Amino acid sequence: MRDVLVRDPLPDVDVDRALDATRRVVEAVLGLLVEPMGRAHGEDWTIRDRTGAVRGVVRVDRWADRAERLSRTDRPGHTPLADQTPWAGSSSEALPVATVAIRCRVDGSGRSLTGPHQLQATLHEVGHALNHVLLGGRTTLVTGLDYLPVERLDLMSMWFDKWALHPGFLRAVLTDPGADSVARVIWSRCIEFRRTLPTRVVVAAVDHALHRSTSGTFAETWTALDHRFGIAQLAAEEDVLEHLAWPMPLANPGGEFSMLWAYAATSTTFAPFLDHDYDHDHPDHADGIFSSSVDPTAPSVPVDPVAAFAFHRTREDHSR
Ligand SMILES: [Zn+2]
């Protein structure tokens, strides 16, 4: 895929238009009010609910001086560390603040530009940031997202990052909004998904099996799972081993499981939004989608594991 994209690069994303369209989604779907306030290298979004009460702040930081790092990290399968959302506001008096970093470069006319991969990563982090702000409970040591069970941690973030596959949203944010250009961006995101998902499914299964048992080596676990599910047909043993040794899976066992849960759940909850413009008022579709994300005491909603594959296959077909 890299060869194809080097010959014919994907169109750029205009960062100002992308942030504007993202704010419109937040207002149209969640019924919140977003008030942007400019700062030197980014902006703060004050988030108000329907009653006008301030719920918190989402801080959007632009990393415009990291041009050469952008080219190294803005590629499939690599979410730059700068997209991680640091949580703040853990004292009982302070309102929650969540920071989203967006890597971009500035062109000759002063426009901030980024790539489609970074667009999807930024939408994902905006979802996390809003989730953190909207979760009410906080004490000194437990704040926002800490309250959610592991399978719900990525429900809002993955729902938001699916706008990077929405034709109307892409037309609004790409520097070249032509039909071919929009289709190529959707195609590239879907191909990446198809390339990485089978490995992630196997990583989740091996991770689960390893952490569940008190004995046995990686090789024994691999062989047992292969006899049962034929995992060797889906992923290479050395790829899975390498993946499990990354800092994130070591620090967060079960992380892939929560990602896969969210992939499936949000493929179902996002699908109706494909039929509408991104800034269309969506109260009938939006009702209840995020209740288990913003209320830790609500039950988790079961997911359809096949939905993630079906959603991306239809997106890929539409991009042809
Ligand atoms: Zn996430």
Q: How far, in Å, is the centroid of ligand 1 from the Cα of 169?
A: 21
3-state secondary structure of 13: strand
Q: How far, in Å, is the centroid of ligand 1 from the Cα of 84?
A: 8
Tokens of 127: 């979802």
Distance between CA atoms of residues 60 and 96, nearest Å = 14
Give the H or E element holding residue 133: helix 116-134
Q: How far, in Å, is the centroid of ligand 1 from the Cα of 261?
A: 12
Q: How far, in Å, is the centroid of ligand 1 from the Cα of 314?
A: 23
pLDDT at residue 74, rounded to an integer: 45
Q: Strand order of the sheet with strand 105-106?
A: 13-14, 112-114, 105-106
Tokens of 31: 């019924």
Q: How far, in Å, is the centroid of ligand 1 from the Cα of 87?
A: 13
pLDDT, block means (10 residues), the chain with 320 residues = 73 96 92 85 86 90 63 40 45 71 90 94 94 76 76 92 95 95 92 84 90 88 94 92 81 80 91 86 72 87 83 76
Q: How far, in Å, is the centroid of ligand 1 from the Cα of 255?
A: 9
3-state secondary structure of 39: strand
pLDDT at residue 139, rounded to an integer: 65
Q: What letters, b where the CB count within 10 A reaches 16 and e where it falls short, cover 220-239?
A: ebbeebeeeeebeebbebee
Q: How far, in Å, is the centroid of ligand 1 from the Cα of 181?
A: 27
Q: How far, in Å, is the centroid of ligand 1 from the Cα of 152?
A: 10
pLDDT at residue 76, rounded to an integer: 40
**pLDDT tens by residue, 106-143:** 988 989 999 999 999 999 999 999 998 888 666 666 66
Query: What are the extents of the domains in the chain?
Result: 2-318
Q: How far, in Å, is the centroid of ligand 1 from the Cα of 62?
A: 19
pLDDT at residue 214, rounded to an integer: 87
Give the H or E element holding residue 100: strand 97-103
Tokens of 43: 């902006």
- Check the CA dihedral 274-279-281-286 and report its sign: positive
pLDDT at residue 77, rounded to an integer: 38
Q: Which residues contact 240 (CB under 8 A, 6 or more apart)?
A: 199, 202, 203, 206, 222
pTM: 0.84
Distance between CA atoms of residues 260 and 154, nearest Å = 9
Distance between CA atoms of residues 124 and 120, nearest Å = 6
Residue 3 Cα distances to 66, 156, 194, 266, angstroms: 24, 33, 17, 31
Q: How far, in Å, is the centroid of ligand 1 from the Cα of 263?
A: 11
Q: How far, in Å, is the centroid of ligand 1 from the Cα of 7?
A: 31
Q: How far, in Å, is the centroid of ligand 1 from the Cα of 136?
A: 19
Q: How far, in Å, is the centroid of ligand 1 from the Cα of 125?
A: 7
pLDDT at residue 94, rounded to an integer: 67
pLDDT at residue 297, rounded to an integer: 87
Length of the chain: 320
pLDDT at residue 250, rounded to an integer: 76
Select from 3.40.390.10, 3.60.20.10, 3.90.79.10, 1.25.40.10 the CATH code of 2-318: 3.40.390.10
Q: How far, in Å, is the centroid of ligand 1 from the Cα of 220?
A: 31
